[in-house]
Structure 1
Amino acid sequence: MSLLYGIDLDGVCFDFLHAFSKWLEDKTGIEMPQDEEITSYYWHETVEGLEEDTFWREFHKFGQAGGYKYLELLPDAKEGLEAIKRAGHRIIYITNRPDYALCDTQLALQYHLFPFSDNLIFANGSKSPIIKMHRVDVFIDDSPSTIEEISMQTSARIYCKDYPFNRKLKPGRFTRVHSWEEFLAHEQITTRV
């Protein structure tokens, strides 16, 4: 049976964390902590000296300067996406990136030859209506608020890509995974050709 996989981009496929950390250090001079110390999805809540307005101003400057176009892939992301396609399933990318990042995001998906790269939706906040409308069977994300929302509002099988900032999530209707390999193992999809 062919399933529709909903895939978040930042934190699942692309390494936004390290790219934006470097940007913040370069632009603000604020020393960014180690990954394990970023325990809130909104970094200004845990990074000493980083004010909320500075966080959001630099977040938008990063995106408007083409930051989304040049993000590194996370380990095994491309191979994982290809394995999903080889197994006979479909993919839809659902992101909460700002609207101005649409062209850069499309270019990045095409540059990295992501399967189903035309299946891209900018959610602008709530992903649940999109998941329901498209009848997404399986969804993976890293945002704690998104995981909570889709757990309550959809029937999709949900995976949470593990990060320190989402570890406060109470166990619920999702499976926590630490890697693409672990995610695919839960889905019984092999990466071998």
Structure 2
Amino acid sequence: MRIGVDLCNTIANINAMLVMKFTRLSLTRYPDPEIPEGFFHTTEGLELLSKAQPFPWAAGTLRFLASAGHEIIYLTSRPVLAAGLTREWLAVNSFPRGTLMFLPRGFKALFARYYGIEWFFEDDPLEALRLNDVVSRVFVKIWPYNLGVQGPGIRKFISWREIMLLIVPGGLVKSRCWQAI
């Protein structure tokens, strides 16, 4: 099975860095207009991406999925300029190897349909809703800005530990039983 994984605020806690940088940032809006256009193309923006902490259990959960034979594809709206630091961040933080794709916001569903992605981990409300029409399951990392996102294939989660508990012995990967969730 192919699994799509967003980076920012799904496996990397960019929001924690942003609220320290932009004091009027609101996590109820996405994207927040407080973040200047092109910020992540700047040296300061790229440094912020490189220093973000991974969410606990994210790397281990994705390593488990990869070791079970699933293909991990990282899809991000980061600028291509961040390719090197993103690859380094994934390696330093022990994420499994996988394809790394840079796409403009709004194009993940098109990519997922074309490449046969079955599961997707995402936080962006727009992307999650579009992906819900394409993949069998969208796991949405909960943030205030995406609380209203709903759909038949959407499962929200707070911690990556919840995902690990779903997929190990008797969970989704082994049984593929969606009724269990």
Normalized against structure 1, the TM-score is what? 0.77
Partner residue, 1:39? 28
Deviations 1:111-154 (A, max 9, x none): 2232124x1111122101211222111101000000111123x1
- Please state how far the C-alpha of 1:59 moved relative to its aligned partner: 4.4
In 1, the alpha carbon distance for the partners of 2:43 and 2:19 equals 10
Identical aligned pairs, as a percentage? 22
Deviations 1:85-133 (A, max 9, x none): 232322111111122211211121122232124x111112210121122
2:62–2:96 contact (8 Å) kept in structure 1? yes
1:128–1:149 contact (8 Å) kept in structure 2? yes
Partner residue, 1:47? none
Partner residue, 1:168? 148
Aligned alpha-carbon RMSD (Å): 2.3
Is residue 2:157 matched to residue 1:159? no
Is residue 2:41 matched to residue 1:22? no
Unaligned runs of 5+ in 2: 174-181
Normalized against structure 2, the TM-score is what? 0.81
Partner residue, 1:76? 57
| C-alpha distance 141-63 of structure 1, shift in aligned 2 (>3 A) | farther
Secondary structure, aligned partner of 2:64: helix
Secondary structure, aligned partner of 1:66: helix
In 1, the alpha carbon distance for the partners of 2:29 and 2:114 equals 30
- Please state how far the C-alpha of 1:180 moved relative to its aligned partner: 0.9
Aligned residues: 169
Unaligned runs of 5+ in 1: 25-30, 45-49
